Structure 1
Amino acid sequence: MVANPQFQYMSPQEYLEWEKTQELRYEYIDGEVFLRTGKTKIHNRICFNLYIELDRLLVDKEWEIYACEVKLKITSKSYHYPDVTVTCDERDKQAIDMIRHPCLIVEVLSPSTEAFDRGKKFTRYRQSSTLKEYVLIASDEIAVECFRRNDEGLWVLRTYGEGDTLNLESVGISIPVEKLYRRVRFDVGEKN
């Protein structure tokens, strides 16, 4: 995430109007605007694999699945573009431009966004009363973390690795971790 040096502060309404005119996607937190940085091929492949699995497993259900380009509003001072978001809330089905009531949010980690995704972003996401699970997927190794809100409202971490099956209780499905990393090669560097 890179703060946009053009603006020292924007109101939420100014951000929403300004962002409509931008070619790139920007996230907004407490008046600051952050450019969504570029994604790698691995990042994109993991998002794609997850999206396909969710779509395949939820095809007969009322869930709506969105990837990367759909804005999420958690508070009036917080707008994000999660890698994958799932909602089954009727209010979201009626909305045109953003999601407000997610049950599942997934972020694929990268070195430039990992601290933000684990910290400030997760702090914001936890403010959603409808969010049941927050999943972080590593893009440099086979590792998945699922934070799940329990009956007492506490967030409990469950980790998954190679050979495990990711259980997504929020949507009632399970996905083998290997399917998230299908066609991902960590041993290949970028060639010019």
Structure 2
Amino acid sequence: MNQYRTDSMTIDEYFQIREKSDTLLEYIDGFVYMSPSPSTKHQRISRKLENKFGSYIEGKSCELFHAPYDIELKNEKVKDSKIVIPDISIICDESGFTDARYVGVPSLIVEVLSPSNQSHDLITKLNIYMNYGVKEYWIVNPMLNAVVVYALNDQNMYEQHDMQKNKGEVTSRLFEGFRIDTADVFNN
């Protein structure tokens, strides 16, 4: 994940840049970060996960969005807004939809790691999503064929709910009965 500019800017300046650019740009703590283009493996994994989650939430009051879709993280407990572009977002509170983006906190976010953005997703975004109250955060690592699921506990801190590498089922705490076989996710 590369910084788009080295100087900080306001969220209004970010929106001006974003309107004129097709580049995937995220806004975090006054800085703009450029997301790398996803690899073929990344896209295949993302599509498989979208299909599985999409089938599960069909008929429920949640909606799935995939990148590129801007999420303006906003809640009353955190003073700043941040703009992120998760690989997959599942949104169960429809009150935050605008024509341009979602403003609020998705219920579940999935990030598929790329070699160049690992620390951004593993550290920066994990802490951001936890602080804003994303109930469940899935980190999918194609380099290790691993899926880690973090869920908010009673103290609003992430704890590892599940983790599988290469084979085995991964489950969701948020969506009861939802499970994915990791072998299906990582095999072409």
Same fold (TM over 0.5): yes
For the residues of structure 2 that align with 1:163 and 1:37, how far apart are their CA atoms? 28
Residue 77 of structure 1, CA deviation: 3.9
- In 2: Cα distance, 1:127 partner to 1:98 partner: 20
Q: Is the 8 A contact 1:28 1:78 kept in 2?
A: yes
CA distance in 2, matches of 1:63, 1:180: 22
Match in the other structure for 1:48: 47
Q: Distance in 2 between matches of 1:89 and 1:179?
A: 30
| Segments ≥4 residues shifted beyond 3 Å | none
| Paired residue secondary structure (2:60) | coil
Question: What is the Cα deviation at residue 51 of structure 1?
Answer: 0.3
Using the TM superposition, give the Cα deviation of residue 174 of structure 1 relative to its aligned residue in structure 2, in angstroms.
Answer: 1.5
* Structure with a larger share of its residues in strand: 2
Cα deviation, 1:79-129, whole Å, max 9, x if unaligned, reads 11001110110313x432222221101111121111111111211111223
Say which SS state the counterpart of residue 39 (structure 1) adopts. coil
Structure 1 counterpart of 2:94: 90
Partner of 2:77 in structure 1? none
Describe the SS at the equivalent of 1:126: helix
The offset of 1:17, in angstroms, is 2.3
Matched, 1:180 2:185: yes
- 1:169 deviates by 2.2
Shift of 1:67: 0.7
1:188 matched residue in structure 2:
none
- What does 1:24-173 align with in structure 2 at a 5 Å threshold? 24-75=23-74, 76-92=80-96, 94-99=97-102, 100-129=104-133, 131-157=134-160, 158-172=162-176, 173=178
**Structure 2: tracts of 5 or more residues without a match:** 75-79
Q: Is the 8 A contact 1:91 1:101 kept in 2?
A: no
CA deviations over 1:26-70 (Å, ceiling 9, x no partner):
111122111111211011111111001111121121111011111
Task: List alignment gaps of at least 5 residues for structure 1.
Answer: 184-192
Q: In 1, are the aligned partners of 2:89 and 2:106 still within 8 Å (CA)?
A: yes
State the number of aligned residues.
Answer: 180
Alpha-carbon distance between aligned partners in 2 of 1:97 and 1:177, rounded to the nearest angstrom: 33
Secondary structure in 1 matching 2:132:
coil
Tell me the TM-score normalized by structure 2. Answer: 0.88
Indicate conservation of the 8 Å contact 2:145/2:165, yes or no.
Answer: yes
Larger RCO (CA within 8 A; separation ≥ 6): 1
